[in-house]
Amino acid sequence: MKKTSLALMCGLLVGWATAAYAAEGNNPPAPPRGGGGFGGPITLNPDDKPAFLEPPPGIDQRREGVPQGKLEMIEYESKSVGTTRKMQVYTPPGYTKDKKYPVLYLLHGIGGDETEWQRFAKPNILLENLLADGKAVPMIIVMPNGRAQKDDRPGSNPMATAPAFAAFDKDLFNDIIPTIESRYSVQADREHRALAGLSMGGGQTFNFGLANLDKFAWIGAFSAAPNTKRPAELVPDPAAAKQQLKLLLITCGNKDGLIRISQGVHQYLKEKEVPHIWHVDGNGHDATHWRNSLWHFMQRIFK
Ligand code: FER
């Protein structure tokens, strides 16, 4: 399904999700905008500007002579979900059991699955080009399915699967991370684990990452959706967060009707003096924003 028609359809279903989300203490979803976007009216503040330059063209194009890593779709038994699940795992060029690698866990959006990041952003090519330019460190990238329910396909009504995104922390911590750390050669500590995601995955990243800073030191939330908990709930102890975070990157497009979610987190963190990068570019709720955000994030982690 095309992203635009999916967005339009999801917009129509937002009303359905409102009550459930408000009940869970999350941000209430905004009513749909006309014209195929999520969210409500956009009010930009003086802080809402780029922190980085635009990436050069071609960041996701293969360049001749740039070494390639390996993408594989693996299966694991999820005790928390009760099924055999799939995740895509990328190992960088030259991957060897003789070394140990940091791991980036990448979470997808409401209509996505374990293939979505690869379709939207080609994380492998972004990283390989950065590695060739000496701008990133070799890492393993894990792209799981963040919809933690037995039927984990988006189906005809992806919004109806939103509760399964909230339950995903059990799969992540009890099944996915242990699977990766037992099958791959991994540096298994907080300073070598990063969590990032787009939209619903950005909300999951805020919710699960900031609540588990003993597990992740590097956090990136791109175009976070209304599944994001309220800022004071995300960071109840600003002093602890300040001490533990190596990087918190928050990005959104200035044409994204969900920007108020990220603006709220930024504003709270600013008030509480929790260091973070707030990067607002000129995109909407779209793949260009997610690809560029990932590219910025990848070159700043594990360093
Ligand atoms: C919503 C609007 C958008 C919402 C979720 C989304 C849970 C998710 C969008 C995406 O993942 O692209 O109101 O409520």
DSSP state at residue 223: S
Q: Give residue 164's identity as a one-letter amino acid code.
A: A
The CA 199 to ligand 1 mean position distance, Å, reads 7
Q: What is the mean pLDDT of residues 191-207?
A: 99
* Unique residue bearing structure tokens 């994030």: 297
257 lines ligand 1 (CB under 6 A): no
H-helix segments, the chain: 3-23, 116-121, 123-132, 162-166, 168-170, 177-183, 200-204, 210, 231-234, 238-244, 259-271, 287-298
Q: What is the pLDDT of residues 31-53, one digit of tens each?
A: 444 333 687 899 999 999 999 99
169 touches 216 (CB < 8 A):
no
pLDDT at 65: 98
Superfamily of domain 3-298: Alpha/Beta hydrolase fold, catalytic domain (3.40.50.1820)
Q: Which residue has the higher pLDDT, 25 or 302?
A: 302
At residue 257, the 3 state secondary structure works out as coil
Instruction: Give the Cα separation of 218 and 300 in Å (integer).
Output: 9
145 lines ligand 1 (CB under 6 A): no
pTM of this structure? 0.90
Q: Which atom of ligand 1 is nearest to the CA of 14?
A: 13
Residue nearest to atom 2 of ligand 1 (CA): 38
State what percent of residues in the chain have pLDDT above 70.
88
Domain boundaries, given as residue ranges, for the chain = 3-298
Give the pLDDT band of residue 101 (cuts 50, 70, 90): very high
Pocket probe for ligand 1: among 9, 10, 108, 252, the residue whose CB has the most ligand atoms within 8 Å is 10
What distance in Å separates the CA atoms of residue 252 and residue 278, rounded to the nearest whole number? 8
HSE-CB for 189 with a 13 A CA cutoff: 4
Beta bridge partners of 84: 77
Matching residue, tokens 């999520």: 38
| pLDDT at residue 14 is higher than 60 | no
pLDDT at residue number 40: 85
Check whether 234 has a pLDDT greater than 70: yes
